[in-house]
Amino acid sequence: MECVLRADRVLVDGQLRPAAVGVSAGRIAFVGSADADCPAAQEVRIPEAAVLLPGFVDTHVHINEPGSDWEGFDTATAAAAAGGITTLVDMPLDCDPVTTSVPALIAKKAAAEGNCHVDVGYWGGVVPDNLDQLAALAAAGVRGFKCFLADSGNPNFPHLTAAQLRAAMSRIAELDSLLLVHAESHAVIDTSPRPAGREYRSFLAARPDAAEVDAVALVIDTARSTGARAHIVHVSSAQVLPLLAAAKTEGLAVTAETCPHYLTFGAEDVPDGGTEFAACPPIRGAANREQLWAALADGTLDLVVSDHSPCAPHQKAGGDFGRAFGGVSSLQLGPRATWTQAAERGFEVTELSRWMSERPAALAGYPDRGRIAVGMRADLCAFDPDAEETVSAATLRHRHPVSPYDGVRLRGSVLQTWVAGTPAPARIGESV
């Protein structure tokens, strides 16, 4: 073995137990008792306070490179490593060109080359005029596809109508691929009041629960008629949960995610001018948040991912919700933010790993990660679940120091991250 890691608590087969994990050629080659005879060039003893987990997998990250100064592969993947995330999947939006063709995918991969500290995959984009390019994108290696049902905010990435969604899902079913859907209704948002000024309630009213309900119902109906696999991204409204539960009971191939900011904050927490909290769909009330937690507990919601959607500071418009870019910057903090709230509600770190490692890996088609077992990639994270720290946005590895978590006290600390058996930077402030 190149390395053996020994810990009092290792997540194996859904349980924490003492174990030794041997690594060879970037893979897990041995899992045995903590004192097992496992000769290796290097021995690593995980601190008693920490647990050894599979590396986290974040399948909803907007890196926005090339063509934007909002975030980059270097900074995003360094932030991921510091947060215990060993694989991320990049969204096709807000880069230039948008990832809706093979040449655009090649440009994105070129921007990433030599600049990544964790493993990176890519979603392809679906827009009204690129259905004939989906097969080529799939052949070029995208993990699946992403579309919008409301204005994306980017004129180069227009939303789909109901008819276009049906055509896209039919094509994706033929490809045996997956469609991720930003499920807000363009029609509902178009008839809602426009946000304006510094009051968050104006932003919240502009994207009502009805926008999510209408769009999720459409996705479910279209999945039923086409047989396509569909995944609802960033569920914020608890009003869609009965629709999702019924779809699962029916046996439809429909899954759904939520995000740490919806599980952490309530609309009541957002101060006037707090545009760092602005996200689409929006953070809703505290009672709504508790229903999202209940849906994670009962399996209606499948997983938690960041929807890291950063921007340059000036895009937050000095606190004007009518002009601010809607996106939360949180990649480095996602597992810790989720764990902070999960622990308060009595969940265990085993459930955190299922929501933020095993299930995202399965969604994106990575059968070799998300668990600690022989043959899996040696993507690992030493995580201290009881440590606490107050977040300073200025010290995060994201390109820009804009985050609603600034000044928030979070539970958990990433002591070390291993990507395919190689240590990756994990502590804020370490050189990359």
> What is the value of pTM for the model shown?
0.96
Distance between CA 74 and CA 397 in Å, rounded?
A: 9
- Which residue(s) pair with 57 in the sheet? 87
Burial 125-162 (b: 16+ CB within 10 A, else e): bbbeebbebbeebbebebbbbbbbbbbbeeeebbbbee
pLDDT by position in tens, the chain (length 432): 899 999 999 999 999 999 999 999 999 999 999 999 989 999 999 999 999 999 999 999 999 999 999 999 999 999 999 999 999 999 999 999 999 999 999 999 999 999 999 999 999 999 999 999 999 999 999 999 999 999 999 999 999 999 999 999 999 999 999 999 999 999 999 999 999 999 999 999 999 999 999 999 999 999 999 999 999 999 999 999 999 999 999 999 999 999 999 999 999 999 999 999 999 999 999 999 999 999 999 999 999 999 999 999 999 999 999 999 999 999 999 999 999 999 999 999 999 999 999 999 999 999 999 999 999 999 999 999 999 999 999 999 999 999 999 999 999 999 999 999 999 964 323 322
Look up residue 85 and give its two tokens: 């995330």
Q: What is the pLDDT of residue 93?
A: 94
Distance between CA 339 and CA 352 in Å, rounded?
A: 7
Distance between CA 415 and CA 103 in Å, rounded?
A: 39
Task: Categorise residue 220: left if φ over 0, alpha if ψ from -120 to 50, beta otherwise.
Answer: alpha
Distance between CA 196 and CA 409 in Å, rounded?
A: 31
